[in-house]
Amino acid sequence: MVRRTDTRQRMLDTAADLFQTQGYHATGLTQLTTAGGAPKGSLYFHFPGGKEQLAAEAVRLSSERTGAMLEGVLRDAPDAPTAIEWAVEALAVFLSESDFQRGCPLATVALDAAAESEPIREACADGYASWHDLLRNYLAGQQLSAERADELATVVLAAIEGGLLLARTRRDLAPLRAVATHLHATLDRELS
């Protein structure tokens, strides 16, 4: 027997994947329920706010998963330059293995729907803020001032986002690898 929470989680997982690869507007309700293996009526049963609520929750889920990956990399790396390099490489592998369909789990939805939906905008903003906070706190722990750690966290996050977008658009990991090399050198200089 399928429990209610199993159906809800399957729908969230499916939505996170579809919104990341196709965007919000290109993903229809029928596709969401069919791909999630759920009856049509279950969308509104589990998500009374409809597609918008499902999207906001899927963005939060994707953000948490990426944050957990980032947290693990930051914890396990021997130093900050290597940590950022490993994080970028993990994203590059994910992008490449998806045949350049899955870049940042927030960017596609943010560009597609955040301007017209406050719940989706908030979910995207919260996701980016959580990643920024992870980076800032990590860099502050590397003997950087709080202000400098905050600035560098913004630069790191923005550079990786741009690298992912260019790599996905070009179907080539070179932009992402260039970002990794540049960030490695920048952090090496900052922490010397």
Sequential pLDDT tens for the chain (192 residues) = 445 568 899 999 999 999 999 999 999 888 988 888 888 788 889 999 999 999 999 999 999 999 999 999 999 999 999 999 999 999 999 999 999 999 899 999 999 898 999 999 999 999 999 999 999 999 999 989 999 999 999 999 999 999 999 999 999 999 999 999 999 999 999 998
pLDDT of residue 4: 52
Identify whether 127 is part of a domain.
Answer: yes
pLDDT of residue 1: 41
Identify whether 165 is part of a domain.
Answer: yes
pLDDT of residue 2: 43
pLDDT of residue 5: 62
Identify whether 121 is part of a domain.
Answer: yes
The CA-CA-CA angle for residues 171, 113, 90, to 5°, reads 35
The C-alpha atoms of residue 121 and residue 187 are separated, in whole angstroms, by 31
pLDDT of residue 49: 93
Locate 162 and state its tokens.
Answer: 């741009």
Identify whether 47 is part of a domain.
Answer: no
The C-alpha atoms of residue 160 and residue 154 are separated, in whole angstroms, by 10
For the entire predicted model, the pTM comes to 0.92
- SS3 of the chain: the string is CCCHHHHHHHHHHHHHHHHHHHCCCCCCHHHHHHHCCCCCCHHHHHCCCHHHHHHHHHHHHHHHHHHHHHHHHHHHCCCHHHHHHHHHHHHHHHHHHCCCCCCCCCHHHHHHHCCCCHHHHHHHHHHHHHHHHHHHHHHHCCCCCHHHHHHHHHHHHHHHHHHHHHHHHHCCCHHHHHHHHHHHHHHHHHCC
pLDDT of residue 29: 86
Identify whether 56 is part of a domain.
Answer: yes
Identify whether 66 is part of a domain.
Answer: yes
> What total of structural domains would you count in the chain?
1
Q: How many CB atoms lie within 10 A of CB 76?
A: 10
Rg, the chain, Cα only: 18
Give me the CATH number covering residue 105: 1.10.357.10
Domain of 88? Answer: 52-190
Identify whether 157 is part of a domain.
Answer: yes
Identify whether 176 is part of a domain.
Answer: yes
pLDDT of residue 41: 81
